[in-house]
Structure 1
């Protein structure tokens, strides 16, 4: 049986295409190449978008489980070097995990207790200053360019009180929702502690168990990429923690020198906000400026604003590039888009986890695309001491180095 050629020309001169069964189709060549390529890219793009959507829906349904596990992983990346340090001093792994976990919880509990106590003690002073500020604003509204009357101000206040009085059901439902949220948070905190303990104690074996689902062929490359990603996560958490400490000290000392009330709680807010790059610093600095405006007036608020801008510039141009290094270097636009997407998809938790996830994906993809990492053994990747240069960049591994290690 003679096979029909792949392409031919009919008697009328029309180009046709024949498949291996001898069936010619002039329609295929009639489609412009641009349209064929666009259609091929289009349906693949739709498949990728649909897959991401399904993954997003599943993760959204399991948010109460996924978010605590992600936070536990971030804390494990922060505390794992301490566990490694104790192991190098011949501590048993179980004892090292308990010491680090208990020590971390004690430090965190002491810090929260100090912040809450300071905040509670400073609230009366702030409330009194707020009353004085409201009186000053009311006087400006009456005697200033607006020339509002006392009756108009009282009418506005009465409307506000009436709104609160007429919506008791909404206030009650909000209180119930808040109570339920507090219960969920407590349960999730227990899950975070439980997962954190096992990540610190049994992290390597958990990773080896997970890597077994990968086919044997690419398993080594995936193992190396995963270790690179963990190194990037450790580097990110370390650097972000150091930046948060510097931000909190800089702004907190400035607030204390200027005599702004609640300087310590505001410094704690700045510390927490620093874990959400760009947006967190702006929001925390805005809160500090607002309280300075209410408590000490516009001049002090302007000085606080200058301090916040100076600290943010120090963070953006010195601390972030120096501490994060090239291993997890991300473009500012990518950071902004990641935080905005995380905020839209999962709220505050999404904004907190978006940049670490982006850093992990960036490191994994670069490792999988790196020719140098093809010859790197997983045991040679040190997750606790990430390298300053990433895969496919000068200074990571030369071919001679990787060949020597593979031997």
Structure 2
């Protein structure tokens, strides 16, 4: 029997790669089942994800407070303090909008007239008259009115569905709050109970893998929060210096957009640029756009490496592909959770795998053309 043949007569490389192919098929089936199951209980998954994010952000605060008081009381104080911060932020934004509303309406009207004059008599190779713009708007309004009149029944049903969606949102928030309280107050006990349900030989390795995953997830959540706050503060300073109205609400929009990888913060800042153009001048718009580029450079080259460090070590190509795939699979929610899921998966895999010594350079390969190819 040939040395490279298996006992059943098959070449050894066929058995090796065949076994690997079956393992790969099994992994794909498991991943597909996880994605399918998650899609079926998407709302529950979102609630658990939100609870984990909030718990990872507040866990250090709760741990510090728990040194001087019972942990349940520390959990309550941390959650109550975070609610006060969020409520204060929204109160400030609403009051800012109310105080600037009259001035903003006048500036918007003047800015829109400036834009219309620029389109009609500006240096562009084409001209769009105000009459054409008004005619297009009136035509769109007429079409919308006709559509509403012809589809009133369907629209009423959609309104009822949206009312049900609001109830679902409140249910998700309530479940997320309930889980967050238990994760912060009894998280370690819950995890110890889970480990005790496993065979003794698997407990230590499972705990090591889970610890690596939690370290990466919590680092990503806290790092994203810090970067989002920094983006919001820099946006507020920039918009305030330029004199763009509603600087505080736009800065909050930038803060929220920072949680959407790659596109969130730039999209929010572009909206701020449009507001600067409509309520100010072209110069304000250019300054805001240049400020957007500068903030993006500061975030990408200073904040992200400094805050995230080694906790989330994903190549930009992986980030781009992951966000795109997550968007196709789950829309906006998929885009938000794609990066932490990929980062945690890679961290867990890195914790349980056995790494061979790395190569310092690519090996030299003597590529020869097979004899059959020459013929």
Give the TM interval when normalised to the shorter protein.
Answer: 0.7 to 0.9
Which stretch shifts more, 323-332 or 186-195?
323-332
Find the aligned partners of 1:227 and 1:84 in 2 and give their Cα distance.
Answer: 17
| Aligned twin of 2:226 | 242
Secondary structure of the residue aligned to 1:329 is: coil
| Aligned twin of 2:245 | 261
TM-score where L is the length of structure 1: 0.77
Contact 2:195 2:203 in 1 (8 A): yes
User: Offset of 1:39 from its aligned partner?
Assistant: 5.1
User: Offset of 1:171 from its aligned partner?
Assistant: 5.1
Q: What pairs with 1:313-392 in structure 2 (closer than 5 Å)?
A: 313-369=297-353
User: Offset of 1:154 from its aligned partner?
Assistant: 3.9
| Aligned twin of 2:138 | 158
Find the aligned partners of 2:299 and 2:99 in 1 and give their Cα distance.
Answer: 31
- Could you list the per-position Cα deviations for residues 339-388 of structure 1 after superposition, in whole angstroms to 9, with x for gaps in the alignment? 222222122222222222222222222221268xxxxxxxxxxxxxxxxx
Contact 2:111 2:280 in 1 (8 A): no
| Aligned twin of 2:27 | 48
Is the aligned partner of 1:209 residue 2:193? yes
Secondary structure of the residue aligned to 1:217 is: helix
Which stretch shifts more, 121-130 or 187-196?
121-130
Q: What pairs with 1:51-66 in structure 2 (closer than 5 Å)?
A: 51-66=30-45
Structure 1 residues 116 and 164: alpha-carbon distance in aligned structure 2, compared to 1, 3 A threshold: same
Structure 1 residues 174 and 163: alpha-carbon distance in aligned structure 2, compared to 1, 3 A threshold: farther
Is the aligned partner of 1:167 residue 2:144? no
Structure 1 residues 107 and 39: alpha-carbon distance in aligned structure 2, compared to 1, 3 A threshold: same
Contact 1:321 1:329 in 2 (8 A): no
Pick aligned residue for 2:170 from 186, 196, 203: 186
Find the aligned partners of 2:188 and 2:304 in 1 and give their Cα distance.
Answer: 29
Contact 2:229 2:255 in 1 (8 A): yes
| Aligned twin of 2:362 | none
- Could you list the per-position Cα deviations for residues 197-231 of structure 1 after superposition, in whole angstroms to 9, with x for gaps in the alignment? 11111101121223344332222011122122222
Pick aligned residue for 1:109 from 76, 79, 87: 87
Find the aligned partners of 2:303 and 2:7 in 1 and give their Cα distance.
Answer: 64
Which stretch shifts more, 254-263 or 50-59?
50-59
| Aligned twin of 1:378 | none
User: Offset of 1:124 from its aligned partner?
Assistant: 4.9
Find the aligned partners of 1:311 and 1:64 in 2 and give their Cα distance.
Answer: 34
Find the aligned partners of 1:154 and 1:249 in 2 and give their Cα distance.
Answer: 39
Secondary structure of the residue aligned to 2:66 is: helix
Contact 1:248 1:271 in 2 (8 A): yes
Pick aligned residue for 1:71 from 47, 50, 57: 50
Which stretch shifts more, 131-140 or 318-327?
131-140
Find the aligned partners of 2:155 and 2:114 in 1 and give their Cα distance.
Answer: 30
| Aligned twin of 2:96 | 118
User: Offset of 1:319 from its aligned partner?
Assistant: 1.2
Find the aligned partners of 1:154 and 1:353 in 2 and give their Cα distance.
Answer: 42
| Aligned twin of 1:229 | 213
Is the aligned partner of 1:301 residue 2:279? no
Unaligned runs of 5+ in 2: 359-375
| Equivalent residues, number | 349
Find the aligned partners of 2:130 and 2:101 in 1 and give their Cα distance.
Answer: 29
Structure 1 residues 254 and 222: alpha-carbon distance in aligned structure 2, compared to 1, 3 A threshold: same
User: Offset of 1:302 from its aligned partner?
Assistant: 0.9
User: Offset of 1:186 from its aligned partner?
Assistant: 1.4
Contact 2:115 2:278 in 1 (8 A): no
Find the aligned partners of 2:78 and 2:6 in 1 and give their Cα distance.
Answer: 70
Find the aligned partners of 2:13 and 2:84 in 1 and give their Cα distance.
Answer: 63
User: Offset of 1:18 from its aligned partner?
Assistant: 6.7
User: Offset of 1:129 from its aligned partner?
Assistant: 3.6
Structure 1 residues 176 and 270: alpha-carbon distance in aligned structure 2, compared to 1, 3 A threshold: same
Find the aligned partners of 2:273 and 2:140 in 1 and give their Cα distance.
Answer: 26
Find the aligned partners of 2:225 and 2:291 in 1 and give their Cα distance.
Answer: 20
User: Offset of 1:334 from its aligned partner?
Assistant: 1.7
Unaligned runs of 5+ in 1: 1-6, 9-15, 20-24, 372-391, 393-407
Find the aligned partners of 2:267 and 2:130 in 1 and give their Cα distance.
Answer: 35
User: Offset of 1:34 from its aligned partner?
Assistant: 7.1
Secondary structure of the residue aligned to 2:200 is: coil
